[in-house]
Structure 1
Amino acid sequence: MCLLLGPLGVGKTMILKRLQVYSTKGSFDNLNDAPSTIATVGTNLTNVQLNKKNEVRVRELGGMMAPIWPNYFADCSIVLYVVDVSNLSQVSSACIQLLHVLSDPRLQTASILIILNKSDLPPPMSIQQIRSLLHLEDLAVSANQRIDVLEVSALTGQG
């Protein structure tokens, strides 16, 4: 099971929609046609076909559900954690939530992908400053989990 987590409004649903398009078409064709989304209240669950042999079940949990995210950690082997890099006031709260996720004992063997979303918008800080604010290099070195970071724009399909 893969969990798609992050604060409210960071683009989790758009990322999930992009993964669904990839799953059905086998490619990221027509990236300029951004799928329409509405804010997730609760959870979205979908299977994403990575290739002919590999499929992963992705559960998106709405940002408002952060207090109960741990209820879904038991069967999780992958966490996609989304941060909106264009919203500086949200970056610090996203960091705190991320630390809670990383410290949960049930996720100590999970692979973590931190998605720095909305890189197409003019950021209030450089990506390097945001990486520093989130302490991403420190997390990657000190966490038990494997942590990777990806800069994307779910809207345009960049990254």
Structure 2
Amino acid sequence: MASALVNFWNSMWESLLSSLGLGGGKEGTLLLLGLDNAGKTTLLHRLRTGDVKHFPPTDRPYQSDKFSFQGLTFQAWDVGGHEAVRHIWEDYVCECSAVLFLVDATDADRMEEAGFELDALVGEKLVEDIPIAILFNKCDLPEAISSKDICQRMNYDELVENHGADKISAFRISVLRGEGYQQAFRWVASFL
């Protein structure tokens, strides 16, 4: 039943994207970044299989998967988010069409750290023409922080100023419930 529902919604989104001129054979490469435990591997698994599975923080330098989502084909790189691998993020940026930067909306103690890492990435010359979708994950949980508070703690306005309002956007999502990231993909598809 669950996979039938996922297939139904994927079909509906594919029709919508095609009608908007956003589907139809477009391909891109995504770079999934963010601090450890933000939900990058879980999102990638859900996009690839339609199922939700919880994973421990990624302990290897990267994982790559190819998947189709709503009429688009993506090669996605999950490079991991623990501190020891963040220095290699920039090595993957030059090969990507867009960055999905996941933020754990329930982890108030690490918002500034996430903002710092995103600011460092935005400061790289390689990123200046690449769209960055910031995904506030786990927004379905009661302890999730409001978007306004997350943006304030991460200095979102400064990030937009440095990267350009047309190249950076934030989305509230729940990987667990399968909500919100569809809008982020539609936004990303507009750059392909």
Do both proteins adopt the same fold according to a TM-score greater than 0.5, normalized to the shorter chain? yes
Separation of aligned partners in 2, 1:148 and 1:126: 16
Larger Rg, first or second structure (1 or 2): 2
The higher relative CO (CA closer than 8 Å, separation ≥ 6) is in 1
From 141, 150, 153, give the equivalent of 1:130: 150
Percent of paired sites with the same residue: 27
Deviation of 1:106 after TM superposition, in Å, equals 0.8
Q: How many residues align?
A: 148
Of 104, 107, 110, the match for 1:84: 104
On the 8 A contact 2:122/2:162 being kept in 1, the answer is: no
Instruction: Say whether residues 1:74 and 2:102 are aligned partners.
Output: no
Provide the C-alpha distance between the structure 2 equivalents of 1:93 and 1:39, rounded to a whole number of angstroms.
17
Q: Does 1:62 align with 2:80?
A: yes
- In structure 1, C-alpha distance between the alignment counterparts of 2:146 and 2:69, rounded to whole Å: 32
In structure 2, relative to structure 1, the CA distance for the partners of 1:74 and 1:86 (3 Å cut) is same
Q: Which amino acid aligns with 2:92?
A: Y
C-alpha distance in structure 1 between counterparts of 2:92 and 2:75, whole Å: 13
For 2:77, give the aligned amino acid: R
Instruction: Provide closer, same or farther for how the CA distance between residues 124 and 149 of structure 1 changes in structure 2, counting only shifts above 3 A.
Output: closer
Q: State the Cα distance separating 1:55 from its structure 2 match.
A: 1.3
Instruction: Tell me the distance in 2 between the aligned counterparts of 1:123 and 1:108.
Output: 33
Larger helix proportion of the pair: 2
Taking a change above 3 Å as real, the CA distance of residues 49 and 35 of structure 1, as seen in their structure-2 partners, is same
Query: Residue 100 of structure 1: which of 102, 111, 120 is its match?
Result: 120
Identify unmatched segments of 5+ residues in structure 1.
23-32
Q: Give TM-score scaled by structure 1 length.
A: 0.83
Q: TM-score, normalised by structure 2?
A: 0.70
Partner of 2:169: 148
Superposition deviation, residue 124 in structure 1: 6.3
Q: How does 1:10-25 map to 2 (within 5 A)?
A: 10-22=38-50
C-alpha deviation, 1:158, in angstroms: 2.5
The alignment yields a C-alpha RMSD, in angstroms, of: 1.9
